[in-house]
Homo-oligomer: A and B are copies of this chain.
């Protein structure tokens, strides 16, 4: 299913309204692999969408997280909370030095997801499976 249809379906099902802002923000998140913060999203959309406000970015991210379309990774370094539209089971890795966040495929996360969903009693909405440390590049540069 394509991104636009998916968002529209979920939004409607929840009794919410489809707006150009929501579409642009979700599209950007789905296309990007940089795990952006609200600020980064806001800046990336400035050119294409000059009237967009930071408030709307925050509102929309909150909505998307509640709908389970986006995972909230928490803050990484000084850049604020990062978001990830890839809700497929995978691991995120953050560098404590350069604050880059990357994806790592994992054969165990799927099992972990199932384990949590079944054993916790929680109605799970999303997850933060994020490891932090020093990335290979920064290790080479002497940040150990």
A interface residues with partner B (beta carbon < 8 Å): 66, 72-75, 81, 91, 93, 95-96, 104, 106-109, 111-112, 115-116, 119-136, 139, 144
Contacts and interface: CB of A to CB of B under 8 A. Distances in A.
Nearest to A128: B130
Contact of A104 (B66, B119, B126, B128): B119
Given A122-B93, A125-B132, A109 B112 contact: yes
A112 B132 CA distance: 14
Among A81, A112, A134: residue with most chain B CB under 10 A: A112
B129 A133 contact: no
A108 B112 contact: yes
A41 B112 CA distance: 30
A55 to B, nearest CB: 17
Nearest to A91: B116
A54 to B, nearest CB: 18
A40 to B, nearest CB: 17
A22 B53 CA distance: 42
A112 B109 CA distance: 7
Name the 6 nearest CB pairs between A and B, nearest first.
A74-B74, A124-B133, A122-B133, A125-B133, A121-B136, A108-B112
